[in-house]
Amino acid sequence: MKIGFDAKRAFQNNTGLGNYSRSLIDSLATGYPEHDYYLFAPKETGMYNWKRFPDMHLITPQARVHKWLKSVWRSRMVVPVLQREGIDIYHGLSHEIPFGIHDSGIRSVVTMHDLIFERYPSQYNPIDVMTYRRKARYACKYADVVVAISEQTKQDLITYYNTPAAKIQVVYQSCDPAFARLHTPEAIEAFKAKYGLPAGYFLYVGSVIERKNLLGIVKAMRILGDRNRLPLAVLGNGGGYRNRVLEVLKQYGMEQEVIWLNDRARLDNSELPQLYQGAKALVYPSLFEGFGIPILEALWSGTPVITSSGSCFGETAGDAALYVDPLEPASIAEAMERILNDDALAADLRSKGFKHAQLFTADKCAAAMMNVYNSISKK
């Protein structure tokens, strides 16, 4: 088969959607080299090394008008290019497929990560919500298969868009296998020294936005008090909500208790496993997610996880996490204190976490996705 991908985020996004794209494409090309893989991207960057695979091809806009209108090329003008290249299946890796593809004769798959913009529209620009909704509704209506990354997302697709359940396949995602490689204590200490991290710290990974609830962690830290808390290392960027967090930290006299890693230096992706492995626990009390990839990265890293009850978190973390009420800082504080004071509990969570992570290997993700492709391939 000739399988095409919307590869914009593989080349331009160094976080969640980009990591999903790169990991899936890599695992498919590695595990199923009998197929040809075509990456359709507005531009090539150094973020993804596609040339490692002899059966992979990169297609970028060539005509002058297409170079000027890259976003239009990706969302509409790319369909004739897909036909010209003889693509059998096109996979939109993040919520959308090109408009008009349903009349092209090309089979299509779309991955839907979440419908958070439908659940929390007030946290988005109204124009963005309308744009996301239009693309997502088209994709869910006309794609041959809608891939949901969790049962939670599947239920949201049914609830918000009336997508037929039979059309939705849940295919869990994986993360970079590098997280499963444990580093020596010496390497972790060297990493901490490089970035000015203390011997012990809790970790927050994710955008600094209201839904992800960093403020809830700060309030929990205040409850713990000076003697019982560790600093919090934050890996993520934010705007207005980060300013709110900074104001509260100043109010509490806790400005030195939060380490904003992105203000110090840019971590290389290869260093992220050391960041996780050096932490006492990942604290992830988000109000809602489609999957929660930092949880999986922590499980692979042997790092205990504190996360929220509800949403998709039980799917992602299984029995390998402490679950809290994200709206109750005291609940978060209690879990943080348990990790600090109960070494046996922390060790048990590490063991269970690594075992649970085996459900989300790159090989399993690729095999499940290939089953999706085979189910719609032309006989």
**Highest CATH level, class, for 178-359:** alpha beta
**Spatial distance between the Cα atoms of 263 and 274, rounded to a whole number of angstroms:** 18
Q: What's the average model confidence in pLDDT over 22-44? A: 95
**Whole-number Å distance between alpha carbons of 6 and 101:** 13
pLDDT more than 70, % of the chain: 99
Count other Cβ atoms within 10 Å, centred on residue 337: 16
Please give the structure tokens belonging to residue 281: 């626990």
Q: Burial level of 193, CB count in 10 A (0-12/13-18/19+)?
A: exposed
Same CATH topology for 2-174+361-376 and 178-359: the answer is: yes
| Whole-number pLDDT of residue 141 | 97
Question: Is the pLDDT confidence value at 18 over 90?
Answer: no
Mean pLDDT of the chain: 93
Selection from 154, 162, 146 nearest residue 108 by Cα: 146
- Checking phi first, is residue 105 left (phi over 0); if not, alpha (psi -120 to 50) or beta? left
Inform me whether the pLDDT recorded for 282 exceeds 60.
yes
**Per-residue pLDDT tens digits for 117-166:** 999 898 889 999 999 999 999 999 999 999 999 999 999 999 999 999 99
Closest C-alpha to 368, from 28, 17, 2:
28
Global confidence as pTM = 0.89
Per-residue pLDDT reduced to its tens digit, 56-80: 999 999 888 888 888 889 998 999 9
Instruction: Give, as one character, the DSSP assignment of residue 274.
Output: H
Domain ranges of the chain: 2-174+361-376, 178-359
Check residue 378 and give its pLDDT.
66
**Distances 377 to 4, 172, 368 between C-alpha atoms, Å:** 13, 21, 15
CATH level 2 (architecture), domain 2-174+361-376: 3-Layer(aba) Sandwich (3.40)
Task: Report, as an integer, the average pLDDT of 5-25.
Answer: 90
**What strands, in cross-sheet order, belong to the sheet with 107-112?**
56-59, 36-40, 2-6, 89-92, 107-112, 145-148, 168-170
Give the pLDDT confidence of 85-129 residue by residue, as tens digits: 999 999 999 999 999 999 999 999 999 999 999 998 988 899 999
Q: Are 74 and 38 in contact (CB under 8 A)?
A: no
Min mean pLDDT across 50-59, 87-96, 266-275 is at 266-275
**67: CB partners within 8 A, 6+ apart:** 61
Percent of the chain topping pLDDT 90: 79
At 379, is the pLDDT very low, low, confident or very high (cuts 50, 70, 90)?
very low
